[in-house]
């Protein structure tokens, strides 16, 4: 599904290399987690894959289902099935959450040559999915993320994910700022979306999220590269020992 090969990325503004030959492959249906110390380039990876401005790819490739992501506009990547759950979801004053969702859903359907959802179908769908995430009808009417608590913002990201039904979900520190209950809600939402033709890349600092969302593979990232990959036990090791030994081992 997602294949990243020898990816080198630098900041556009300054001559600073962030990713230095990162390679990663996530087959369909799998959940991969990336852990790593601050400044290892985890968030950069999520931004480069989703097409945010400010980064320059100097070498390497990234493909989704064989299509090169790096040549596409952000919205084309989205319609191709790439979804990024933001670490800091953005506020859009004056734009109703429901309006935003509906515009997004229909924009993607249109881009894929599908018919737009009717008003009735859309409402039915959004209500059902919102209820699962304990998102109130009132929250659907409020402006996008404006005045939302940390937990509400993250649940809202998962609601968007559920509505857009992406093939490849990247979650950038979705657990940051969540209390135990919110973490469970978010994880349940994500687990409900797991399917044989959908993959996840979960970026996190902490192992505890991975108790709720069981990964197939855990990668340790440091200094712009994957330095070690393994099973879920690798996350437990990090939790117990920190990154020190792992990084020393990887040189």
Least Å distance between CB 239 and other proteins? Answer: 31
Give the residue, chosen from 1, 2, 62, 98, that forms a contact with other proteins under the rule CB under 8 A: 98
Site for other proteins contains 78 (CB under 8 A): yes
Which lies closer to other proteins via its Cβ, residue 2 or residue 235?
2
Does 99 contact other proteins by CB under 8 A? yes
Q: Give which of 127, 143, 125 is closest to 135, Cα–Cα.
A: 127
Residue 247's nearest CA partner among 44, 48, 38, 43 is: 38
Token digits of residue 73: 């506009």
Tokens of 195: 């399917």
Shortest approach of other proteins to residue 173 CB, angstroms? 16
> What would the two tokens of residue 175 be?
């657990």
Residues 104-123 contacting other proteins, CB under 8 A: 104-108, 111, 119, 122-123
Count CB-CB contacts under 10 A for residue 74.
14
Q: Which stretch binds other proteins (CB under 8 A): 16-24, 44-52, 197-205, 235-243?
A: 44-52
Interface region with other proteins, contact rule CB under 8 A, candidates 95-103, 176-184, 212-220, 237-245: 95-103
Is 52 a binding residue for other proteins by CB under 8 A? The answer is yes
- Identify which range of 9-17, 32-40, 96-104, 180-188 contacts other proteins by CB under 8 A: 96-104
Q: How far is the CB of 104 from other proteins (least distance, A)?
A: 4
Spell out the alpha helix ranges (H) of the chain: 42-50, 74-79, 97-111, 119-132, 137-141, 150-164, 180-193, 208-212, 233-241, 244-250
Q: 3-state DSSP call for residue 44?
A: helix
If binding is defined by CB under 8 A, does position 248 make contact with other proteins?
Answer: no
Please give the Cα distance from 54 to 68 (Å, whole number).
19
Burial class of residue 115 in the structure, from the number of CB atoms within 10 Å of its CB (0-12 exposed, 13-18 middle, 19+ buried): exposed
* Closer CB to other proteins, 28 or 104, in the complex: 104
* Interface contacts to other proteins, rule CB under 8 A: 50-53, 73-75, 77-79, 83-84, 86, 89-96, 98-100, 102-108, 111, 119, 122-123, 137, 141, 143, 160, 164
């Amino acid at each position: 599904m997602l294949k990243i090969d020898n990816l080198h990325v630098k900041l556009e503004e300054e001559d600073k290399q962030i990713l230095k030959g990162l390679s990663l492959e996530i087959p369909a249906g799998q959940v991969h987690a990336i852990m790593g110390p601050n400044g290892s380039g985890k968030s950069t990876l999520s931004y480069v894959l989703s097409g945010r401005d400010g980064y320059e790819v100097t070498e390497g490739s990234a493909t989704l289902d064989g299509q090169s992501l790096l040549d596409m506009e952000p919205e084309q990547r989205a319609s191709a099935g790439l979804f990024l759950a933001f670490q800091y979801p953005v506020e859009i004053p004056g734009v109703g959450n429901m309006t935003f969702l509906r515009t997004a859903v229909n924009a993607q359907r249109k881009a894929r040559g599908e018919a737009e959802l009717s008003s009735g179908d859309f409402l039915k769908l959004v209500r059902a999915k919102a209820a699962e995430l304990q998102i109130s009808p009132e929250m659907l009417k409020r402006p996008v993320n404006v005045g939302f608590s940390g937990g509400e913002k993250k649940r809202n990201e998962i609601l968007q994910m559920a509505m857009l039904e992406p093939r490849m979900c990247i979650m950038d520190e979705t657990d940051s700022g969540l209390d135990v209950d919110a973490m469970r809600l978010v994880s349940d939402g994500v687990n409900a979306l797991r399917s044989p033709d959908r993959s996840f890349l979960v970026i996190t600092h902490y192992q505890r999220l991975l108790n709720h969302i069981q990964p197939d593979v855990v990668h340790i990232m440091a200094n712009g590269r994957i330095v070690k990959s393994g099973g879920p036990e690798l996350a437990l090791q990090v939790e117990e020992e920190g990154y020190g030994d792992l990084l020393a081992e990887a040189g």
